[in-house]
Structure 1
Amino acid sequence: MMKLLLLLSLVALSQCLVSKIYLRKGKSLRKSLKEHGLLEYYLKHNPYNLASKYFPTLAGRVSSEPLENYMDMEYFGTISIGTPAQEFTVLFDTGSSNLWVPSVYCSSEACTNHKRFNPADSSTFESTNDSLSIQYGTGSMTGFLGYDTVTVGSIRITNQIFGLSETEPGDFFYYTPFDGILGLAFPSIASSGATPVFDNMMSQDLVSKDLFSVYLSNDDKSGSFVMFGGIDQSYVSGGLTWIPLSAETYWQITMDSVSTSEKVLACASSCQAIIDTGTSLLAGPSSAIADIQSALGADSNGEISCDSISSMPDIIFKLNGKAFPVPASSYILESDGSCILAFEGMNLPTESGDLWILGDIFIHDYYVVFDRANNRVGLSPLS
């Protein structure tokens, strides 16, 4: 009863704030709630989402999923699968397309310290005879596919196909703070032809707009989220720059160059890049990364003097004719008195050449909108 009363209070307050503050002063609901000491609860228990079963008229088709910031390197949130719900933490990954979680049939050590899905405990689970095998840049899994109800934020997706791992070789997934992965890229790269979660959100008319947006906090701060079906306008005060996709596989775009304000460092004649929430660093062809390290005065391992950070230039990624700078404070990682460039050599061949990966180091500085309706990506600088 107390929770319901608190929800009623939050709903009433948020309606009041929207009508009296947002419309008058242009202040976001998030900022207004923060001023009233209610932001943390609102983000965790969005009243429009939790109260929808009590107040159906409040149920919208925009849902914000809070993400936990793990050392500025990985961002994950909680979803549920099955009836009754079994909860899992998953990495929301724009660089892959499958949803999978560990299962009770998994024999790998990586599954012993993570939550495991038990099909026998779900009345809505439907098994298949289809196998699943996924190889990531780090780590891999094998298993089988099944169907069940999946809930992400306030969005309930029925008959969602997902993977149940049986093996997770090596030790990579043993040490990850999340249980599984929820891919947000295109169906064309989904293993075993599985329909991605966001495609089912769209086809089942569960989102108001066929897009989602991402904010990844930096400096161990909280507040990260992925918003399905909407854009938080308080993060786009400087407007959005739209970049058309060059392929409907990953969220792939054409990059004009990588440079400082004085000279081009790599990708001089344009290249292909992807914006990937599932990759921590900035990655590119090994030879190009070596050139960047050399130009910035780092050694072959990317190590650099911490004393030089203040004098280091911005690295500018030119996309669709516009410059998107990343400052040294973002692309240099400091730990225990040592500093290293957040660039990683990785050869990821495609028909259009080796891909660059603009991972979390890039996304920290921009609010990103992934627009499936128009096959484009929107970027807005964060202050």
Structure 2
Amino acid sequence: MKWIGFLSLVALSECLVTIPLTKIKSMRESLRERDLLSSYLQEHPYSQAYRFLHRQEGVTVEPMRSYLDLYYVGTISIGTPPQEFKVIFDTGSADLWVPSIYCSSPACATHRTFHPGKSSTFLSTGRPISLHYGSGSMTGLLGSDNVRIGDLVVKYQAFGLSQTESSKSFEYGVFDGILGLSYPTMALKGTTPVFDSMWKQGLLSENLFAFYLSTNTEMGSVVMFGGVDHSYYTGELKWVPVSRQGYWQITVDSISMNGKVIACDGSCQAIVDTGTSLLIGPNYHIFNILKIINARPTSTGEYIINCNTIRVLPDIVFTINGVGYPVPASAYIRRGQSNVCYSNLDDSFGHSLWVLGDVFLRLYFTVFDRANNRIGLAPAVA
């Protein structure tokens, strides 16, 4: 496995801190290189479907796709003295968790683990927690400690310490844990998510964060807390109201190709999710798009496309709040090994929600504005 860089913080102004992220090799590519992809998908047939987060009673449960592909990873630390972990900054979930020394699963043996006894500021609640995914699950205990992101220190932050991680996606993934950035209604009952803690503890000048995801480069991606660095996008930010406060959910007016509406006629709902790599949509509409671009299925459930067609295939245009956001073929098709090209589209296995994952977010700088419950979009700089 490779290539997670470290996370540092750059203070650009009083109101903005920028956290560099590192893009790493996709898990799908790593499994394919080891000839493990086909067997993995047979053992975990729902790993390509939405992920269902089943938490304790009284916590909102919403579907979201499990991540099997590209990740953007940064480094945080927990405890005193700090213990470092590589995490996915995920707008599709709200909780923070990392592996712990109490975990005996294979996934924990290949990742860094938190040692409560080595932190003078750790507090245990003794409360059990559980997160279930389509391809596996995590169980553990809830604790609290100081969490450092760059030189922001969030005190008494609740987080999960895993005891079991029953998933090969966790075992083969090059991230240790997940740091959720969705609304607090998604969080474990009685806990405050990391971003909400930042705001409540007066660490930020503005109640928002933003993502810039680099294209085809390992370095250069950033997540920003407390402000927006305008050098990462062109033109003006276009604002979209959040339609439901849980995931970062918005209304899409329509989806079209060559000026013809091919999906979402009369509007539909979509989730803006940094923890999902692909563009996800309802079965019928995704299969219709795959037919339009002449994609062919493989034994692993992926779809391959003639690489020579990338330069001639039309954009997929998402019209959101009256503004068109084109996604070109060079984005919704990816090149694999031996000049084989794969679709970056996937179906949602019976669900009506669309998911605008990293395929979309690499094209558009995205601001998540909690103060006004809206999302800002603008073309990202190349």
TM class by smaller structure: 0.7 to 0.9
Structure-2 separation of matches of 1:66 and 1:88: 15
Q: Is 2:59 the partner of 1:62? A: no
State TM-score, norm by structure 1: 0.82
Q: CA 1:45–1:95 in structure 2 vs 1: closer, same or farther (change >3 Å)?
A: closer
For 1:53, the equivalent position in structure 2 comes to none
1:118-157 matched pairs, under 5 angstroms: 118-157=115-154
What is the distance in 2 between the residues matched to 1:221 and 1:108?
Answer: 29
Structure-2 residue corresponding to 1:331: 332
- Say if 2:280 is the partner of 1:283: yes
User: Which residue number in structure 1 is paired with residue 211 of structure 2?
Assistant: 214
* Counterpart selection for 1:362 from 335, 360, 363: 360
CA positional deviation for 1:129: 2.5
TM-score, normalised with respect to structure 2: 0.82
**Is this contact kept in 1: 2:8–2:150, CA < 8 A?**
no
Alignment of 1:62-211 (within 5 A): 62-71=16-25, 73-211=70-208
Aligned residues: 327
Aligned partner of 1:379 in structure 2 is 377
Deviation at 1:303, TM superposition (A): 1.6
2:263 matched to 1:266? yes
Contact 1:314 1:325 in 2 (8 A): yes
Residue type matched to 1:106 in 2?
A: C
Paired residue type of 2:354:
W
In structure 2, list runs of 5 or more residues that go unmatched. 1-6, 27-69
CA distance, structure 2, for counterparts of residue 176 and residue 153 of structure 1: 23
The separation in 2 between residues aligned to 1:227 and 1:71, in whole angstroms, is 23
CA contact (8 A) 1:63 1:154 kept: no
Larger proportion of strand: 2
Q: CA separation in 2, counterparts of 1:64 and 1:348?
A: 38
SS in 2 for 1:67: strand
Match in the other structure for 2:342:
340
Q: Does 1:298 align with 2:298?
A: no
Provide, for residues 195-245 of structure 1, a one-character-per-residue CA deviation record: whole Å limited to 9, x for no partner: 110000111111010000100001124210101001011123301000000
Q: Read off the aligned partner of 2:313 and give its amino acid letter.
A: M
Q: Distance in 1 between matches of 2:267 and 2:134?
A: 24
One-letter identity of the residue aligned with 1:183 = G
CA drift of 1:292 comes to 1.2
SS of 1:289 mapped into structure 2: helix
- Tell me, what secondary structure is at the counterpart of 1:156? strand
Q: Which moved more, 1:188-197 or 1:144-153?
A: 188-197
> Secondary structure at 1:124's aligned position in 2?
coil
Identity of aligned residues (%): 51
**Structure 1 residue 270: Cα displacement:** 1.1
Mapped to 1, the partners of 2:137 and 2:192 lie a distance apart of 19
| Inter-CA distance 348–80: structure 2 relative to 1 (3 Å threshold) | farther
More helix by share: 1
Q: For 2:230, give the aligned amino acid.
A: Q
Q: What secondary structure, in the 3-state scheme, does the structure 1 residue paired with 2:113 have?
A: coil
> Residues 349-381 of structure 1, C-alpha deviation per residue, up to 9 Å, x if partnerless?
4xxxx2111000100101100000000000010
Deviation at 1:262, TM superposition (A): 2.6
Computed over aligned residues only, the root mean square deviation of the Cα atoms, in angstroms, reads: 1.7
* CA distance 1:282–1:137, change in 2 (3 Å): farther
Provide the C-alpha distance between the structure 2 equivalents of 1:368 and 1:201, rounded to a whole number of angstroms: 19
Distance 2:135 2:284 in 1: 20
Contact 1:303 1:339 in 2 (8 A): yes
CA distance in 2, matches of 1:137, 1:284: 17
